[in-house]
Amino acid sequence: MRPTTTARSRPTSHPVHLAFLGCGFITGVHSRHVKRLRDDVVCSYASRDREKAEAFCRRYLGVGSYDSYGAAIDDPAVDAVVIAVPPRFHLELTLRALSAGKHVLVEKPAYPRTDDFLRVQAARSDSGRVLLVGENDHYKPLAVCLRGLLRDGVIGDLVLAHFTTLMKRLKPADDWRNDEGMAGGDAFFEEGIHWLHIANSLGPAITEAHGFRPPPSRDGPDRRAKSMLVAFRYDNDAAGTLYYSREVPSLFRGVRLSQLFGRDGIITFESNGAFVFVRGVGGPRMILPGFRDMRGYQAMYRDFVGAILTGRAPEMSIDAAIADQRLMDQIYATADPRADSSC
């Protein structure tokens, strides 16, 4: 594949050299999936703890390690960075990386405020580099399947949508997510963005969203607000709800059922993506979207690397992320008029 040249940068080589900024749990998750793309990608690891960076480099067969994030960003051998540190540091590192001519994949939630997204949008445009917001659920087989079914009119015009993501999964006392200043917000802001994006990317776009947040329980080690109900309306006048909680039990060991109702049928699906049952045009049928890349990480990295090598925009662009963030602003403004998504 021929390398591409973008504004103010040297040509990108093949394979693409990714540097992970941060060596925590999520970097391990990413690395296990990136190794499937070894013909297209080589990886290095940066941490403020040199021993941790070296350990990750050995474990995931990297090509180098750094004892600071700046050292990785400033290395001319690095083509792109993956920002996998707590959200509090995302904006600073993104702007520095773009200024240095690096492509950027930034973990979700990317930034706490819409103004931050707009600053990044401008910086990305000035740099001519690829920026992908790491919304891996956009790429998972379930999301691709649902978008295809609606696009093909299998249930006719969408009328109602109901998404359920309930699970009792509390964080320990020393988890950085307990610090909402570090995480960017509460549990829904940090993790519920996955489902907000899926709801907003089916085809019809959400134009209006209202949040209803139960009083948070501050008992126990997990001190965050952990539940949110969202009611929303699409641009085709369909309506929907999203139930999110990390403090109530699921139906059975993480099994959660969601539904899309159309004028000509119903789609019932397990929210993790285990199965999709369709009753609509063409008769009833069961679909198994796929378990090989159930969370979508491999497809996300293929999109990122493909965008770098070809110069095209990635699917999960900064523009798509801004649309989701504007909905987050609406949700938190209505859930608590005194707060916003950064609280």
Q: pLDDT by residue (tens digit) across 77-91? A: 999 999 999 999 999
With a cut of 60, say whether residue 340 has pLDDT above it. Answer: no
Residue 204 to residue 235: CA distance in whole angstroms:
6
Residue 2 reports pLDDT greater than 70: no
When pLDDT is cut at 50, 70 and 90, the band that residue 170 belongs to is confident
Q: What distance in Å separates the CA atoms of residue 3 and residue 298, rounded to the nearest whole number?
A: 21
Q: What is the mean predicted confidence (pLDDT) over 281-307?
A: 95
Q: Which pLDDT belongs to residue 216?
A: 81
Question: Model's pTM, two decimal places?
Answer: 0.91
Query: Is residue 323 a contact partner of residue 30, using CB atoms and an 8 Å limit?
Result: no
CA dist., res. 135 & res. 239, Å (int): 23
Q: What percent of the chain has pLDDT over 90?
A: 80
Domain boundaries, the chain: 16-135, 141-292+326-335
% of the chain residues with pLDDT over 70: 94
Q: Kindly report which listed range (46-60, 143-157, 250-264) carries the lowest average pLDDT score.
A: 250-264
Which of 119, 130, 52, 65 is CA-nearest to residue 92?
119
- Taking CA atoms, 34 is separated from 41, 59, 82, 137, in Å, by 8, 13, 11, 16
How sure is the predictor about 338, in pLDDT bands with cuts at 50, 70 and 90? low
Overall CATH class of domain 16-135: alpha beta
Q: What is the pLDDT of residues 301-329, one digit of tens each?
A: 999 999 999 999 999 999 999 999 999 99
pLDDT of amino acid 13: 65
- Please, are residues 238 and 158 in contact by the beta-carbon 8 Å criterion? yes
Q: Looking only at Cα atoms, what is the longest distance across the chain?
A: 58
Cis peptide preceding 141, ω within 30 of 0: no
Write down the CATH superfamily of domain 141-292+326-335: Dihydrodipicolinate Reductase; domain 2 (3.30.360.10)
